[in-house]
A = this chain, B = another copy of it.
Amino acid sequence: MDATPGTTPVPDAVPDPAPDPVPDADAAVVAGEAVPSDRVALDRDRILAAALAHIDEQGLAGLTMRRLGHRVGVEAMSLYRYVPGKEELLDGVVELLIGDLRMDPDVLHSPTHGWQDFLQRLAHGVRRVALAHPKAFPLVASRPPEAPWLRPPLRSLEWVDAFLSGLLEEGFSDEAAVAAYRSFTSFLLGTLLLEVSAHGADVGPLDVVDDHLADDVEASRHATVWRLRHDLAHDAAATEFEVALESLLERLTLVRSELG
């Protein structure tokens, strides 16, 4: 019994070479199965998924070509047959993240119940992705966009087009739709980046901060911060998101009629 769960220094789960438990590989192939060995075939999607999983577990800095190779049961250089380099790999992870949006059944591709419902669903979908992968989400912001007007976190032509087309269908003028696009992306990026960042630094439940920081706060200086420390630590991100989104939509209603 190797790999006892309590002791391993590296939690990676390499699939273990497993000296081919299949007695007759040809038979398996004939039977319609894929590769007989449990070492499943490598491909770009599997690599990207592994990279995302690795980031979720170890953080961005923990992702290394060698470590990623090890995780998928392969030497680092083998990855380069499927991915041109590390930069492109990270871009692929970002694509994967926004790809999750398409799979989300609660996110609509066009405003079938009004534009407010459309944007509400989209915003919540993006937030779900961000919260599901807090360590990876900053990538969505930090990767250079393919075009200056392809703004995170809506980083694909597909979604930008869906966004704009959707609003146009709903009576937005060209200018209003573009303005709404800019406001919406700024809002999502700022809010979600701060929310996942708080999650990352979320070590203890509250009150526990660095000593020197605590000293600074406690000492008469910064008295207000000290007094409000509990309010500041209190996490009401979900309802705040709701409120701020609602307020944004109200503002967009104005934009819609003013620039109509």
Whether the pair B178, A231 counts as a contact (CB closer than 8 A) is yes
Within 8 A of B (CB), among A108-141: 138, 141
Q: Which residues of B contact A222 (CB under 8 A)?
A: 157-158, 160-161
Whether the pair A231, B174 counts as a contact (CB closer than 8 A) is yes
Kindly identify which residue among B179, B181, B190 contacts A186, using a CB–CB cutoff of 8 Å.
B190
Interface check A50, CB cutoff 8 A: no
Instruction: Tell me how many residues of A have a C-beta within 8 Å of chain B.
Output: 62
Shortest beta-carbon contacts, A-B, top 3:
A190-B190, A149-B232, A186-B190
Whether the pair B144, A201 counts as a contact (CB closer than 8 A) is yes
Per assembly, the copies of the chain total: 2
Q: Which residues of B contact A96 (CB under 8 A)?
A: none
Given contacts A216-B157, A233-B149, contact A186 B224 (CB under 8 A): no
Chain A, 199-242, contact with B by CB distance < 8 Å: what is the 0/1 string?
Answer: 01110000001100100110001111101110111000000100
Interface positions of A (Cβ within 8 A of B):
3, 87, 138, 141-142, 144-149, 151-152, 157-158, 160-161, 164-165, 168, 174-175, 177-179, 181-183, 185-191, 193-194, 197-198, 200-202, 209-210, 213, 216-217, 221-225, 227-229, 231-233, 240, 244, 247, 251
Whether the pair B247, A251 counts as a contact (CB closer than 8 A) is yes
Given contacts A157-B216, A197-B144, A244-B183, contact A225 B3 (CB under 8 A): no
Whole-angstrom CA separation of A148 from B209 in the bound complex: 9
Kindly identify which residue among B181, B182, B213, B228 contacts A147, using a CB–CB cutoff of 8 Å.
B213
In the complex, what residue of chain B is closest to A188 when comparing beta carbons?
B190
